[in-house]
Amino acid sequence: MHILHVVGARPNFMKAAPVLHALRKRSAVQQTLVHTGQHYDANMSDVFFSQLEIPSPDVNLGIGSGSHAQQTAEIMSRFEPIVLERKPDVVLVYGDVNSTVAAALASAKLGIRVGHVEAGLRSFDWSMPEEINRVVTDRLADLLFTPSEDGDRNLVQEGVPAEKIFRVGNVMIDSLVRLLPAAMRCPRNGFPQCYALVTLHRPSNVDDSKTLKSILQSLLEIHQDLAVVFPVHPRTRQRIEEFGLNAGNLHLIGPLPYVEFLALQHGAAVVITDSGGIQEETTYMGVPCLTLRNNTERPVTVSLGTNVIVGQERDKLSLELSKILAGKAKKGTIPPLWDGHAGERIADVLQSQS
Ligand code: UD1
């Protein structure tokens, strides 16, 4: 059986690694890895490959930045000849980035079976590019690997036949479980003892100057009592510079490698974020998480985990933060099947299909 994996952006790498590792141990499985090049900076891509021990891509499409249509179209046209040449049995796509939907669409049109890892998640917010990518990818997929029960429910409600849905658990947590010991050994020189860790890159938070300014002001207020450590995504750095905004004396640093970032999450008093994956990682580690969005496609992190949705309201953020700092943080549990073995379960399903 020949499985062709497609990755492109930072959050894909920790999801693909466990599946690549699990399939490597299986007999009669050939694997091809295609990197679209959506994320191309060494600190957004290469360092993740080395820490997660992902083999070098067999093909790099080198697509780089562009508008959504440009990125998606460019991936499709550069990916199609690769599929025609390599003739995989299944193309596996991950998460909800532009690389995911573009590769799924090109493959489905060639009649190649598509497997979607992290299927079924829904924010029900059609203004998010990732929500469009999730819905379209799931519509195209033949094998839908879900991380939690809400994913199955969403898919069934959309009319996906039950036999296409496989609840396998959370692959991102597989990578976390594997590399948490390395993260615990990671030196944290130069970082404060007690800090809030911040990440921000959603278009809804960073592409509008007023919104981004207001978030930075909230962070500067927090920074008066609790050090704010902020590894800045390239998109956000571009916007801060473009809008001429003041980040004061916040600890702004570049994007971090996976292990170093896990270490910072693990040691944080609180994580303030608009990322999807970080809501899950904090839930697994029991670290309080405040999400600067009005919704989440990962509701188990709220119902079972440590996540609280605070939207863009400054009052709600400071209220929830004060509860955490007063030792009254929400206690969470780890969702079912977030156990470090999701990649193995995906490999089992793929083998049973051959
Ligand atoms: C993408 C995903 C998002 C994911 C995020 C994680 C889509 C629609 N969005 O958003 O779901 O949470 O990745 O990082 O696919 N850039 C660099 N260096 C890089 C990569 C990007 O400077 O290595 C710059 C680009 O020039 C661009 C901006 O960052 O201006 C945005 O990159 P892009 O890949 O379009 O989307 P993200 O915002 O990273």
- According to the 3-state scheme, what is the secondary structure of the chain? CEEEEEECCHHHHHHHHHHHHHHHCCCCCEEEEEECCCCCCCCCCHHHHHHCCCCCCCEECCCCCCCHHHHHHHHHHHHHHHHHHHCCCEEEEECCCHHHHHHHHHHHHCCCEEEEECCCCCCCCCCCHHHHHHHHHHHHCCEEEECCHHHHHHHHHCCCCHHHEEECCCHHHHHHHHHHHHHHCCCCCCCCCCEEEEECCCHHHHCCHHHHHHHHHHHHHHHCCCEEEEECCHHHHHHHHHCCCCCCCCEEECCCCHHHHHHHHHHCCEEEECCCHHHHHHHHHCCCEEECCCCCCCCHHHHCCCEEECCCCHHHHHHHHHHHHCCCCCCCCCCCCCCCCHHHHHHHHHHHHC
- Would you list the domain boundaries of the chain? 2-169+338-352, 182-325
Ligand 1 atom nearest the C-alpha of 71 is 35
Average pLDDT over residues 286-315: 97
**Ligand 1 pocket check for 97: Cβ under 6 Å:** yes
**Ligand 1 pocket check for 129: Cβ under 6 Å:** yes
Distance between CA 173 and CA 18 in Å, rounded?
9
**Ligand 1 pocket check for 130: Cβ under 6 Å:** yes
Average pLDDT over residues 237-259: 94
Distance between CA 102 and CA 133 in Å, rounded?
9
| Residue found by looking up tokens 């981004």 in the block | 212
Class level of CATH domain 182-325: alpha beta
| 182-325 matches 2-169+338-352 in CATH topology | yes
pLDDT score for 190: 80
Average pLDDT over residues 233-249: 95
Q: Taking the model in full, what pTM does it have?
A: 0.96
Q: Which of 235, 236, 297 to mutate to test the pocket of ligand 1 (most atoms within 8 A of CB)?
A: 235
Q: Tell me the pLDDT tens digit for each residue of 121-158.
A: 999 999 999 999 999 999 999 999 999 999 999 999 99
Average pLDDT over residues 61-68: 97
Average pLDDT over residues 218-224: 95
Distance between CA 38 and CA 350 in Å, rounded?
27
Strand partners of residue 271: 197, 289
pLDDT over threshold 90, residue 313: no
Q: How far away, in angstroms, is 335 Cα from ligand 1 center?
A: 28
**Ligand 1 pocket check for 70: Cβ under 6 Å:** no
Q: How far away, in angstroms, is 62 Cα from ligand 1 center?
A: 14
Residues annotated as part of the active site: 201
Query: Which residue's CA lies nearest to atom 33 of ligand 1?
Result: 65
Strand partners of residue 70: none
CATH of range 2-169+338-352; options 3.30.2350.10, 3.40.50.2000, 3.40.640.10, 3.30.360.10: 3.40.50.2000
Residue 354 banded pLDDT, cuts 50, 70, 90? confident
pLDDT over threshold 80, residue 170: yes
**Within a 13 Å sphere around the CA of 177, how many CA atoms are in the beta-carbon half?**
16
| Residue found by looking up tokens 């003041």 in the block | 246
Contact 52, 258 (CB under 8 A): yes
Query: Which residue's CA lies nearest to atom 3 of ligand 1?
Result: 97
Q: Tell me the pLDDT tens digit for each residue of 317-350.
A: 999 999 999 999 999 999 999 999 999 999 999 9
Q: How far away, in angstroms, is 272 Cα from ligand 1 center?
A: 19
- 103-139 exposure pattern, b = at least 16 Cβ within 10 A, e = fewer: bbbbbbeeebebbbbbbbbbbeeeebbbbebbbbbbb
Distance between CA 40 and CA 171 in Å, rounded?
23
Contact 346, 19 (CB under 8 A): yes
